[in-house]
Amino acid sequence: MDLDGFDIGRAVVRISRWLLLVALLGAAVGSALRGWRWGLAFLLGAGASYINFRWIHRLVNSLGDAAAKRKPPRARVAVLLGLRYLLLGAGAYAILRFSTLSLAAVLLGLFVSVAAVILEILFELIYART
């Protein structure tokens, strides 16, 4: 596999754009089919997905920096990794307990970053052919 022409920084920027596009399209479709609360819940999940994507990106960068310096990563990295799931769980609990927003729409919104990465993979496969 030839990675000479691959720029990870540009890929991350494109993934962020894909993420925004999928979030807006999903919210628009959800609002049209199920009402504005569904669209808002989808956007809430997409926002959490974006934050999770940024945290994962920072985690990978910090692990790469630690590996380059040949030293173990800081304990803060492990704490943030575990805290991320606690925050997502607390958000889901708050939606179930105190909100009238659809939990299903929020959960669908959480998959926006996965869709953005898949779109980036397809973009790279098509772009690499030309």
Ramachandran class of 70: left when φ > 0, alpha when ψ lies in -120 to 50, beta otherwise: left
CA distance 42 to 48: 10
Query: What does DSSP assign to residue 21?
Result: H
Radius of gyration of the chain (CA): 17
Q: pLDDT grade, residue 13 (50/70/90)?
A: very high
* Biggest distance spanned by C-alpha atoms of the chain: 52
Span 67-75, mean pLDDT?
70
- Residue 101, C-beta contacts closer than 8 angstroms, at least 6 positions apart: 37, 40, 41, 44, 95
- Predicted TM-score (pTM) of the model is 0.79
Give the start-to-end residue ranges of the domains of the chain: 8-129
Per residue in 33-52, pLDDT tens?
999 999 999 999 999 899 88
pLDDT of 14 > 90? The answer is yes
